[in-house]
């Protein structure tokens, strides 16, 4: 795989969204403050939470910051759901289940209402530059439509070195 380009270098992007997700109404009940609360998994750098704060998400946090370092996914699930967190992870399968059947397995299986899931699908051991670049792409998508209630936003890197941005409902 080629070395990732640096932030702002301008990767091409491919977007895939069902039309009904492009302008869905905001569920104000779910996040009382009106601001999306992003919680970054410990498998990703704390720098992502700092970037989210700079980009207008002051409630963004990292698993370590809220004292949950080392917690197993099944314990984090209740913290994420009850706290109305939009969870950011690179462990897509662990949380959304298999790519071809999202929500059928994983921590979000059986969850009727959630504040959203952001999956950064990069190579094993992706470096900080690539994490930041992929998360920038997710934040740019959220600037267009920040309602992720019962949705998954996936940022994947393709062999062509482009990002694939996919958004879909879960549960469907």
Residue 9 confidence (pLDDT) above 60:
no
pLDDT in tens, 77-104: 999 999 999 999 999 999 999 999 999 9
Beta bridge partners of 86: 38
Contact present, 157 and 134 (Cβ < 8 Å):
yes
Phi, psi for 65 (deg, rounded to 5):
-65, -30
pLDDT in tens, 107-140: 999 999 999 999 999 998 899 999 999 999 999 9
What mean pLDDT is predicted for residues 37-64?
97
Q: What is the mean pLDDT of the chain?
A: 85
pLDDT value of position 35: 75
Residue 10 confidence (pLDDT) above 70:
no
What mean pLDDT is predicted for residues 17-44?
63
Q: Using the 8-state DSSP alphabet, how is residue 21 labeled?
A: G
User: What confidence tier does 24 reach under pLDDT thresholds 50, 70, 90?
Assistant: very low
Neighbours of 62 (CB within 10 A): 22
Residue 16 confidence (pLDDT) above 90:
no
d(CA 163, CA 165): 6
Which residues have a Cβ under 8 Å from the Cβ of 119 and sit 6 or more positions away? 89, 90, 92, 95, 96, 152, 153, 154, 155
Beta bridge partners of 152: 117, 168
Worst-scoring range by mean pLDDT, 10-19, 89-98, 114-123, 149-158? 10-19
């Amino acid at each position: 795989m080629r070395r990732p380009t640096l932030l702002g270098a301008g990767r091409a992007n491919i977007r895939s969204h069902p039309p009904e997700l492009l302008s869905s109404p905001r569920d104000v009940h779910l996040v009382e403050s009106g601001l999306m609360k992003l919680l970054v998994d410990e498998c990703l750098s704390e720098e992502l939470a700092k970037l989210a704060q700079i980009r207008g998400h002051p409630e963004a946090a990292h698993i370590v910051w809220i004292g949950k370092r080392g917690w197993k996914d099944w314990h984090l699930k209740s913290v994420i759901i009850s706290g109305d967190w939009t969870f950011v992870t690179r462990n897509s399968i662990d949380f959304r289940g298999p790519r071809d059947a999202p929500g059928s397995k994983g921590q979000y299986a059986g969850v009727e209402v959630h504040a959203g899931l952001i999956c950064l699908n990069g190579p094993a051991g992706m470096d900080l530059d690539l994490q930041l670049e992929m998360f920038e792409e997710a934040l740019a998508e959220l600037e267009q439509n920040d309602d992720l209630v019962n949705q998954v936003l996936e940022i994947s890197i393709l062999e062509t070195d482009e990002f694939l941005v996919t958004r879909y409902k879960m549960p469907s």
